[in-house]
Amino acid sequence: MALFGAVFLALLAGAHAEIPGCKIRVTSEALALVKQEGLRFLEQELEAITIPDLRGREGHFYYNISDVKVTELQLTGSELHFQPEQELALQITNASLGLRFRRQLLYWFFYDGGYINASAEGVSIRTALQLSQGPAGQMRVSNVSCLASVSRMHAAFGGTFRKVYEFLSTFITSGMRFLLNLQICPVLYHAGMVLLNSLLDTVPVRSAVDELVGIDYSLLKDPVVSNSYLDMEFRGAFFPLAEGNWSFLNRAVEPQLQEEERMVYVAFSEFFFDSAMESYFRAGALKLSLVGDKVPHDLDILLRATYFGSIVLLSPAVIDSPLKLELQVTAPPRCTIKPSGTTISVTATVTIALVPPMQPEVQLSSMVMDARFSAKMALRGKALRTQLDLRKFRIYSNQSAIESLALIPLQAPLKTLLQIGVMPMLNERTWRGVQIPLPEGINFVREVVTNHAGFLTIGADLHFAKGLREVIDKNREVIDKNPPAATRQPQASEAPLPAPAAD
């Protein structure tokens, strides 16, 4: 009985789980590029380490080590890999640090000072970023674990008290190694919890596409990490800005990601495109009205000839009135994705009327238009762009078959109008595209689009158009003015520190 209840609850939870309209997979193929940029960023962070002064006494000798600065950093061995369930792990081995610091020594009344070059060798760092869904649906670094150690440290002492410094080097280098160990993990923790999260803040979650429509890229759950990829599921739904709380029920096929050969894969379901068209429909954007000189001259003559019998029965004041041609979509267009291609189906009314000045317009005819467009998708930079091409077009009357036959002469002129007058406007807008949820400074290159039954996938490689440092510094001022909620410092278990020991 308990087993039946558990199965029922699992099925109930699955029935209410929201289907993603967009999925993104980052594969292990991208990690070499990410590691290259990440190490460059990490070097800059570690080179800025602030090490406190070291003071001590040994017998009658008093020493003070101050103004410690990192002059050189070599990260020779490193590995970046995915770590189930939600982590991205970085392992650095056998790295080295070059240091320069000021020495001061007092023995009775004798004083010696100057600068010393030192090196920290055998530096090992292991850190892992835990990725999760943030409260606003964004991806966040929710925790940073860290393990760091420095195995050896050497200092090149000189000056009047060289022999004395050599005698004291054990105490000084061990103390500095201890202080250096203390600083590495807090720097990495800050880099992950504050700086990398500021980078993730540049990923659009719920933003405006234009003045009419917005898009919601909220994560639906925590990212899923395997040994070879990281998968993210997004709502991927458009919405009319005037109806911010409006939601479109997703009944489409869930997009699937199976490939791992490219750096990144993005999948879009039919729902993604349907929600865009329904949003524009609800926003009142899917209509076009041409009046007077806006109607092509040849089409104006043809329409007046076609409806001559109706026009001559009107009063003389109306006969020469400007002609109006109105095209209005009557239902949200629908997208169909098949292995053979992507099509958009549209049904609209075409209304033809005369518009006499200062008088109500006089309708001459109303007909139904069915059109089918082929849609080709492409990723450029980080924008999904669409190119539409008119494939099928027909007009008919919903009043009678006889009237439909009378409309046959208008078929070709209206199709030409659609191709010449309407399609360029549509393609100008769809080719501007909509942004994909990627951080600032990262773009897609060399994309390949593949259609499936009910969804399409785009495989691509990644390109850093801007460095992590450039993007983070751009947002650092915002961080400083609006600091995040206090982030706890790493606990001892996250950043174990060796006690000072003699070299």
pLDDT for 171: 65
Percent residues over pLDDT 90 in the chain: 28
User: pLDDT tens digit string along 423-435?
Assistant: 888 898 889 989 9
**With bands split at pLDDT 50, 70 and 90, how would you rate the model's confidence at 12?**
very low
Q: How far is CA 413 from CA 295, 298, 409, in A?
A: 12, 9, 8
Least confident of 15-24, 162-171, 399-408: 162-171
Least confident of 187-196, 379-388, 453-462, 484-493: 484-493
Residue of 230 and 153 predicted with greater confidence: 230
pLDDT at 499 over 70: no
Region of 446 (left: φ > 0; alpha: ψ -120 to 50; beta: rest) is left
Q: Domain residue spans in the chain?
A: 28-201, 206-460
Least confident of 30-34, 217-221, 222-226, 483-487: 483-487
Least confident of 94-108, 203-217, 295-309, 399-413: 399-413
CA-to-CA distance for 278 and 12, rounded, in angstroms?
Answer: 29
pLDDT at 466 over 50: yes
Q: How far is CA 337 from CA 27, 73, 272, in A?
A: 25, 52, 11
pLDDT for 157: 65
pLDDT for 51: 79
User: pLDDT tens digit string along 277-292?
Assistant: 999 999 988 888 888 8
Evaluate whether 435 touches 202 at the Cβ level (below 8 Å): no
pLDDT at 1 over 60: no
Residue of 491 and 474 predicted with greater confidence: 474
pLDDT for 232: 93
pLDDT for 250: 86
- Tell me which architecture the domain covering 206-460 has in CATH: Super Roll (3.15)
pLDDT at 264 over 90: yes
Can 28-201 and 206-460 be said to share one CATH topology? no
CA 141 to chain centre: 15
CA 405 to chain centre: 52
Say yes or no: domain 28-201 is CATH 3.15.10.10. Answer: yes
**With bands split at pLDDT 50, 70 and 90, how would you rate the model's confidence at 229?**
very high
**With bands split at pLDDT 50, 70 and 90, how would you rate the model's confidence at 479?**
low
pLDDT for 301: 80
pLDDT at 4 over 60: no
Arithmetic mean of pLDDT, 334-341 = 94
pLDDT for 86: 75
**With bands split at pLDDT 50, 70 and 90, how would you rate the model's confidence at 144?**
very high
3-state percent breakdown (helix, strand, coil) of the chain, nearest 5: 30, 40, 30
CA-to-CA distance for 142 and 205, rounded, in angstroms?
Answer: 17
- At a CB cut-off of 8 Å and minimum separation 6, what does 123 contact? 92, 94, 95, 96, 97, 148, 149, 150, 151, 184
Long-range interactions of 107-113: CB distance < 8 A, separation 24+? 107/60, 107/61, 107/62, 107/161, 107/164, 108/60, 110/160, 110/161, 112/159, 112/160, 112/161
Strands (E), 213-299: 213-216, 224-225, 229-234, 237-240, 264-269, 287-291
